[in-house]
Amino acid sequence: MTTPFSFAGRAAAAVVAAALAAPAVQSAELGDTDDPIRFALVEWTGQHLTSRIIGSALEEMGYDVEYVSVGYLVSGTAAADGDVHATLEVWDNNLGDLFPQLLESGRLENLGDVGLEAGEGWMYPDHVAELCPGLPSWEAVQDCAQEFATAETFPQGRFLSYPSDWSNRSEVLIEGEDLDYRAVPAGSEGALVAELKAAAETDSPLLMMFWAPHWVLSEVDVSWVDMPDEIREEYSVTQPNVFKAVWPGLKDKWPAAYEVIRTAKITNEIQEPLMARIDRDGEDTKAVVAEWMAANEDIWRPWIEDATD
């Protein structure tokens, strides 16, 4: 995924659309293999998988890859400064102000989409429709606010929002639309998942911000609030594109690595079962990725061949 995000709106989307990936190179040299390539690891498991799968492909080529844990927003600054060399899962509906500025100034380079079919919105476990029969309509969200109230938020409804260092878009939306809710930031991705599963198990009320792909959506029956298009657009709760951002010096220092990162695609079908093994079953991320790499050379080997042949 650090400081809270502010909404960048249409300007952010325009900047990202304008940040074009570099043209293909027919054959690239490895470059400086003595220095490590550093990938940012941010706050969610899918991003770790994207980073470690692409990083493992680079290691197969002879590169030394290091992983640096940083906050989501900080990862953009770190990549612009060369403190890390890539942040490989940037959601263009959750950019804040800084990412667009870095892209527009050329201090950060967009290397194209990751390959995910992504979605995002306000969500609730299906049993909540019995507590608020008007759901999934947007009007019902306001009509049923007190059904979501807790001791912490009464008389306002409680809305479970993203961790504060991911995004404050829900808070901005609630305030901007004068909704009778209080946004309560979750502490982490794990906390979001835990609350969703607990609400489903106990038939408790829950309204929350969430996204797809995610492994928990294969275990909990959920529905998405039918948010009006104009509100989605104004507050950037839209169908996101997920892209790879790199330090602009990467192309010259590690040409073949640059090409592999540009070419690599990580899909929902790759991520979701691996996320389940890590977050649900408690398996080690490195071991899960190593097993996947061994079993799926037909997927990642062409990234290397396209870059070096």
Class in CATH terms, 119-234: alpha beta
Out of 3.40.190.10, 3.40.1260.10, 3.30.465.10, 3.30.420.40, the CATH code matching 9-117+240-308 is 3.40.190.10
Ranges of each domain in the chain: 9-117+240-308, 119-234
Query: What DSSP element (H or E) covers 111?
Result: strand 109-113
CB 306 within 8 A of CB 263: yes
- The closest alpha carbon to 111, from 261, 308, 254, belongs to 261
**Number of other CB atoms surrounding residue 104 within 10 Å:** 16
* CA 153/CA 203 separation, integer angstroms: 19
Where residue 236 falls (left for φ over 0; alpha for ψ -120 to 50; beta otherwise) is left
Determine the distance from the C-alpha atom of residue 169 to the mean position of all C-alpha atoms in its chain, rounded to a whole number: 14
222-224 and 119-125 as β-strands: parallel, antiparallel, unpaired?
A: antiparallel
pLDDT at 27: 57
* CA 98/CA 105 separation, integer angstroms: 11
Residue position matching structure tokens 């590690």 = 254
- The closest alpha carbon to 58, from 38, 78, 43, belongs to 38
pLDDT in tens for each of the 309 residues of the chain? 322 223 233 334 444 444 434 333 345 799 999 999 999 999 889 999 999 999 999 999 999 999 999 998 899 999 999 999 999 999 887 787 889 999 999 999 999 999 998 888 999 999 999 999 999 999 999 999 999 999 999 999 999 999 988 888 999 999 999 999 999 999 998 899 999 999 999 999 999 999 888 999 888 999 999 999 999 989 988 778 899 999 999 999 999 999 999 999 999 999 989 999 998 899 999 999 999 999 999 999 999 999 988
- The closest alpha carbon to 270, from 287, 283, 288, belongs to 288
CB 145 within 8 A of CB 151: no
* CA 126/CA 225 separation, integer angstroms: 11
* CA 120/CA 254 separation, integer angstroms: 34
pLDDT at 98: 87
37-41 and 65-69 as β-strands: parallel, antiparallel, unpaired?
A: parallel
**Number of other CB atoms surrounding residue 120 within 10 Å:** 22
Residue position matching structure tokens 């038939």 = 203
**Number of other CB atoms surrounding residue 218 within 10 Å:** 12
**Number of other CB atoms surrounding residue 7 within 10 Å:** 20
